[in-house]
Structure 1
Amino acid sequence: MEINDQTVAAVAAIAKNAGQRLLDVFSPDARPVDRDELQRVAARNEQVSADGLRDALHELRPDARFIDGDLETTALPDSGEWWAIDNAEGSVNHVHGLAEWGVSIALIVDRRVELAVFRQPIGDLTYTARRGFGSWLNGSRLTVAQKNDLDIAIVGTGQAEARQVATYAHIGRSIETMLEHAFLVRATVPSTFPMLLIAAGNMDAFWQYEPVLPGVAAGSLLISEAGGLVTTIDGGPWAPGASTIAVGSPAVHAALISVLAVGA
């Protein structure tokens, strides 16, 4: 089934509708007071955004399946179409009245991300990419930064999910190592936002241990179609289900991989 401009436009419309539903329940004054409230509001966000989203995507491509559960962190089958979606990417930010949240949708075909859409209602921003046709923000083409030295680069990492205990030491060592080499090191959630900044040239590189596919699938295509590189942390080919991811503009990416190898 062909993926064309009409497919991208249809997915963007679906994401925009879901994002509007999240915007309708957003308040910049939101401040959860305890874990129960945080979890309750986050669950509401997931339900509000999800309302009708999967049905719309299924109608668009009836044979595509949805990535859930273990498939978010393990290799996909070699063939078939899969939707990797996050109904409320950055819901923890939404819950705290912050602007960095949205709806992420990626279409994976035969283990390659072929289409990506990210909708950020705050700012009225729609990011789109189709393999071979570039990355775009509200109709303007995106290009990664052209820096050639890590020592002037803004780089970052972050948790993929809370309570990923096995990643704590890796994250800590990698940040400590990178602080000695990069101009500025950021640690932030969710994964999508630093990846959007890299695609747009505002940031230079990002790495993550134990990523979840809905958190990195769209960003991976947006970056590669903007001229960036997407690999594993050891520099190998990245594919959905890989246990690490490293992305960035070409020159900075090469230096990033080298430095992370030293700190491993």
Structure 2
Amino acid sequence: MNSLDIARRHAFAQEIARDAGAIARRYFHSGDAMGAMEKGAHDLVTQADLDIDRFLIERLRQEFPEDGILTEESGGDGASRLWVIDPIDGTANFARRIPHFAVSIAFHTEGRTESGVVYNPVLNEMFVARRGFGATCNGQPIRVRPTRGVTDALVDAGYSSKRPLADYVALVGRLLEDGFAFVQNGSAAIGLAHVACGRIDGYCELFLHSWDVLAGLLLVEEAGGWVSDFTARGGLLQGNAVLAGTPAIRQPLRRILPMAGEGYP
């Protein structure tokens, strides 16, 4: 795929992310976000998730009918040119009217993510990255924080019910024992965007799906950070562990979650 084809998709991703965010914002401010349904334990879906999912699929099929689409709510397959979408990442926050959630859109082709958009519609923050072109927030360049070391670092340690609770407790224990401070804010897409713009220093989670993280991982890379190989061992379709951060804490974090560096089945 040539640069012009990618540039066209990159611009379109930003357009539809903003439109999708407007839908989310209407639900959020109307109070209808509280109408959440359970897909599983601590796994919610709202009418806004479903409406945004349909909206994004329709727009993409109209504009790029030859591309594949993989979303949290509708599934999909591993087409060679693939849109990977989470209509609302951080649904639990959204359903409780906590403004820490995002529309996440990534375009993945020829084995790598070329475009990523993470949009928080309540704060109106549009995080954007295109491979080789850097990362921005609302059009301004962003860079990861110049972390001094472990005791200067704040890491978002995401929780997944798809792994045993004991594993998560052990992960947090290792973070604290090594001197890290940690938070758990409930949105991987936003967490990674916050690493990219220097608000926090790292992100780790034992298991996530590609729609949660592909856009955010590209943001971190293009902002000068480092990320684990999420697509290793079938991670694109099956999910994987995630590790990302600033250069100064790369080795300490890899000791905390070593399997994320090689892929985690």
1:38 aligned to 2:40? Answer: no
Q: Judging changes above 3 Å, is the alpha-carbon distance between structure 1 residues 39 and 189 closer, same or farther for their aligned structure 2 residues?
A: same
- Alpha-carbon offset, residue 139 of structure 1: 0.6
After superposition, give the CA deviation of every residue in 1:181-211 in whole Å (9 maximum; x if it has no partner): 2341112312111111100011111111121
Report if aligned partners of 2:100, 2:185 keep a CA contact under 8 Å in 1: no
Question: Alpha-carbon deviations, 1:17-42, whole Å to 9, x = none?
Answer: 1110111111386795xxxx531893
Could you state the TM-score of these two structures normalised by the residue count of structure 2? Answer: 0.83
**Structure 1: 5+ residue stretches without partners:** none
Q: Is 1:179 equivalent to 2:181 in the alignment? A: no
Q: Give yes or no for the alignment of 1:201 onto 2:228.
A: no
Q: Deviations over 1:130-161 (max 9, x none)?
A: 1101111111111111113111100121124x
Specify whether residues 111 and 85 from structure 1 end up closer, same or farther in structure 2 by C-alpha distance, changes over 3 A only.
same
- Alignment match, 2:15: 13
Query: In the alignment, what sits opposite 2:134?
Result: 134
Q: Distance in 1 between matches of 2:7 and 2:226?
A: 24
Structure 1 residue 60, shift from structure 2 partner? 2.9
Give me the whole-angstrom Cα distance separating, in 2, the residues matched to 1:103 and 1:154: 24
Q: Is there any run of 5+ residues in structure 2 with no aligned partner, and where?
A: 39-43, 260-265
**What TM-score, normalized to structure 1?**
0.84
Of 94-103 and 250-259, the range deviating more from structure 2: 250-259
* Root-mean-square deviation (Å): 2.9
Q: How many residues align?
A: 250
Instruction: Find the counterpart in structure 2 of residue 125 from structure 1.
Output: 125
Q: Displacement, 1:43?
A: 2.8
Distance change (3 Å), C-alpha of 1:214 and 1:44: same
**Aligned residue for 2:263?**
none
Q: Give the structure with the larger strand fraction.
A: 2
Higher relative contact order, chain-length normalized (CA < 8 Å, sep 6+): 1
**Which residue pairs with 1:108 in the alignment?**
108
For residues 67-116 of structure 1, the C-alpha deviation after alignment (integer angstroms, 9 at most, x for no partner) is 257x97xxx85x71111101111121111011012211001102211100
